[in-house]
Each structure stands twice: as C-alpha cells, then as structure tokens.
Structure 1
Amino acid sequence: MNTWIEALVAIALLLGSLFALVGAIGLYRLPDFFMRLHGPTKSTTLGVGGMVIASLIYFGASGEGISLHELLITLFLFITAPVSAHMLAKAAMQQKVRVNDKTRGKPWEQ
C-alpha cells in the first residue's frame, strides 16, 4: 500500500480518536444534562465519522473497493445523532430537569 494512503488513514484514525476522547471527557466532566448532551452528540459523532472515513480510505485503496456498509454507517450516524439529541433535550425540558447555574437559556421558565 502507498505510504500516502497509510498516512491519510493514520491521520483520520488519530483525529477520530481525538474527537471521541474529547466527547467522552465532556460527557464525564460537564455539570448538567444539557451540557453533557453536547459531548456525545457533537464530538463523538465526528470521532466515529473519522474512524469510518479511515476505514473507507483503507479498504478502498487495498483493492476491495468502497463498501456500501461504511457509507451507510456514516450517513445514518450523521442523520440520527442530531435527531436523538434534540429529542433528549425536548424530553428533559418537559421533565424540567435541574440545570447548573452556568447553563444559559432556560425556556421553561419564561
């Protein structure tokens, strides 16, 4: 395999891993539900997307061709993650989940 392709795969894996790590740290460290929701929905989604893109590049260059499964995983991941985050946030607003004082925007108190 070409050295440039291996470098691209390594960079995509490292970036994906970094985004997944940042999302996991955000999920652990942020103080309330609404802040914690951003960790997995934003950066972890990009992390998994980076890893799937690395897989696409690797298997595409190795002669097996681009897999439809990997394309569908990426598509469904980027479609379902924001929708599920929105639904979780709406449910938390309906239940009036306690928030930290630093959380801005409390629409249920208006």
Structure 2
Amino acid sequence: MDQEVNNQIKKEIDSNDICLFMKGTPDAPQCGFSMAVSNMLKILEVEFKGINVLENQNLREGIKKFSDWPTIPQLYVKGEFVGGCDIIKEMFESKDLQKLLDSKSINYKK
C-alpha cells in the first residue's frame, strides 16, 4: 500500500473518535450498506467523520489493506476497527455498539 494513503488513513482514524470509511457521504450515501451504518450512527446521535472512498481509488483499496477487511463501509471507534455493515448492524441491534461507545466514553443518545 502507498505510504501516503496509509498515513492519510491513520491520520483520519487518530483525529476522529468515530470514523466511517464509506461510499458517499453521511448526507448522500452511495450504497445501501454505507447508508445503513451511517443511519445507525445518526439514530444514536453520535458525531462521526464520514470519509468518501469513492473520491480516491487509492484510498478505497488502501482502507481494505489497512484493516485487512474486504468490504466498505468500515467503522473505527477511538482508533479501533469495529467492522463492516453486518457486524455494526448486529452490534446495534444487540446494544453491543452502545456498550462499546460507553466503554470508550463517547456520548450518544440513550
């Protein structure tokens, strides 16, 4: 992976408590999976940074290598890779996502 892309990914993850690498933006998702994760975060009213991987092919491929995860979206919380859409949906429904936010001292709508 390109070192510049790796540094960009690391900077975004380190600079934002919640970082969602997605297709599109939180206000205009470009795929159903990205929309689903973005909507779950919006329901919880957490602040998050959405990063549109469609704007940069190197970033799109780089994030997959960075996390060793083949799909997008990808959610990071306080520097930790949490998962993609299926994992986040399962965690949201079981309240494990909310427990993770609590454990990381991140405010959300309870």
TM-score by length of 2: 0.31
TM normalised by structure 1 equals 0.31
- When you count helix as a share of all residues, which structure comes out higher? 1
Q: Which has the larger radius of gyration?
A: 1
Structure with bigger RCO (C-alpha 8 Å, 6+ apart): 2
